[in-house]
Amino acid sequence: MNIIAILGSLRKASFNRMLLNAAIELAPAEMSIEIADISQFPLYNQDVENTGAPDAVKRLQEQIRSADGVLFVTPEYNYSMSGVLKNAIDWASRPPKENPFNGKPCAMMSASTSVLGGARAQYHLRQSCVFINLIPMNKPEVIVMKAMEKFDADSKLIDEATRKVVATFMQSFKEWIIRIGK
């Protein structure tokens, strides 16, 4: 079971990156999770697209195409998903080939130092899923609040309750992928 993970923060010490690493650690054994490299994406521009998408974009499109599911990990910036993540989705969803997201199962997580933990970003992302026809898992929702209290100095998720919900989330995602199939 191949998962492509798309991380909406480029910061090295991002809590969302730490959360993604925890998800990889806690995932069921049969899941293989690859992290997309979206750091080299230019800003989306249809004029550029018309002369051929950048290689980094084509690479992500192929990764999505060959994945059984898509895992989003997104910070919440300004009460929505990050522009970084949205830009990656805007590029990846474009021609020349069919939208690679089409019909695939997905799931999403977020971490934040605030008390709302990124929830608002997720509902915007869910609306984008309607258009690109990703099928998002509903539950459990992983919204890690006050993230600075949940990870240790080695970037490891140490909060036991959060570890448990992330493990359940990944197990549920496995079952969701099987259920949705393709």
Q: Which is nearer to a copy of itself, 29 or 47 (CB)?
A: 47
- The residue (of 32 and 139) whose beta carbon lies closer to a copy of itself is 139
Give CA separation, 44 vs 1, 39, 53, 98, in Å.
30, 13, 10, 18
For every residue of 65-86, DSSP letters joined together read: HT-SEEEEE--EETTEE-HHHH
Site residues for a copy of itself, 88-127, by CB under 8 A, read 88-90, 93, 115-116, 119-120, 123-124, 126-127
Within residues 130-169, the interface with a copy of itself by CB under 8 A covers 130-135, 138-139, 141, 143, 145
Cβ-based burial of 111 (10 A; exposed 0-12, middle 13-18, buried ≥19): buried
Q: Which C-beta is closer to a copy of itself: that of 32 or that of 39?
A: 39
Q: Would you tell me which residues interact with a copy of itself (CB under 8 A)? A: 9-12, 14, 38-39, 41, 43-47, 77-90, 93, 115-116, 119-120, 123-124, 126-135, 138-139, 141, 143, 145, 179-181
